[in-house]
Amino acid sequence: MKFLSALLLLALSPTQTVAFAPANNHAVVSAAPSSTSLQMGPPTPESLLTETYGEGSRKYRRTVYTHNEWVKHRSSDRFIRNISSMYNSGVYKSLGREVFATTAIATFLVVFNALTGGYTDFDGVQHEAIISSLPQLTLPLTPFTLLSPSLGLLLVFRTNSSYGRWDEARKFWGLNINHTRDLNRMATAWYGHDGIPVDPTLRAEHLRQVSLMTWAFVRSMKRHLSPPAEDEEAYVAELNARLAPEQAQAMIDAAHRPNRALYDLSVAIDRLPMHFMRKNAINKNLSIFEDTLGGSERLLSSPVPLFYSRHTARFLSTWLLLLPFAMYEPFKGSWNHVMEIPAIALASLFLFGIEELATQLEEPFTILPMQGFCDKIGANCDEIVGWRGQGLDE
């Protein structure tokens, strides 16, 4: 059972989840500014009643850390804070039916075995069995002890693979952020060549188009990776607000919107008056965008093999549903074995919680703050193309 204890400690550790879904952040972390009505961060008071857990709460797990959040994250009272917020945890609330099932079995077992094997009343008086014709229901603990390492390995592989998917998705967006800056920096610094006079008005328009199409690509990629019901309306509104009507409509009507945005970005780059070698260097960033887009599509369309996830869930469910029968004798020191009931409830909560964390992380895009990334990229690109370039520094 040492391995089971280690798993319970893993589930209790706040550092495993706080960076993605802080359980008690509803009132302390402010939402990041966004150009749409879809905000990052904690839910608003109006939505607390209906979206504190489940699929609807995923948009509130898009946590962006700054120095203030890191100070709180590593503060000395984090253990007490996370233990005290267990009742508010959306992950734990999602496990209500599973925990109820195992706890109900444990409760039934304690009552049934008291009726068939005798019980002790509140005065400490031992009573004979009320139903002596039926045997008590128990199982040996040894099979569960032998299976614990196998179950633990399955859960570890499950969580590691899911976290790896989240980490890969976050790195894709990190590449987008880095290379959008790189693209706009090079376009701004290299604008013009061969001493040809630069028209400031034309330069500003050309670079504005590069910035806009860069933002349009990442915003289209965000929409491509988001549920239509959540993001379609905001996406259309943002494109109509920032792009020319014909540009916006062409992108909205495209079968593959990120590809259309990359095409428009390629056209904007091709219009820049600069040496073709420099344009080639800028266009290398577009190949990286294609890679991040393709990698993200791979993660979205290909889950962890379903037979692996299903076997892990079946193994865990069977193990926990039968565990009360094996834990009956170890709790004989408590009054009528009654302490088995809360013990089984906690064990179920934490072990099912590990599997739930893996399931929540497996599809990473609806818990990544992609809207914040897009807004950040748009603001950075607009700033970069506003800097003075060659021939304008005098």
CA dist 27 and 33 (Å) reads 16
State pTM to two decimals: 0.80
pLDDT tops 50 at residue 230: yes
What confidence score (pLDDT) does residue 62 get? 62
Least confident of 25-29, 173-177, 250-254, 301-305: 25-29
Q: State percent of the chain over pLDDT 90.
A: 65
Examine the pLDDT at 84 and tell me if it is beyond 80: yes
Q: Give the separation between CA 82 and CA 14, rounded to whole angstroms.
A: 6
pLDDT digits (tens, 9 = 90+) for 45-69: 444 445 566 666 666 666 778 888 8
**Cα–Cα distance, 75 to 150 (Å, whole number):** 35
Q: Of 368, 378, 35, which is closest to residue 181 (Cα–Cα)?
A: 378
Judge contact between 325 and 137, C-beta under 8 A.
Answer: yes
95-151 per-position pLDDT tens digit: 899 999 999 999 999 999 999 999 888 888 888 989 888 999 999 999 999 999 999
| Residue 112 token pair | 């049934």
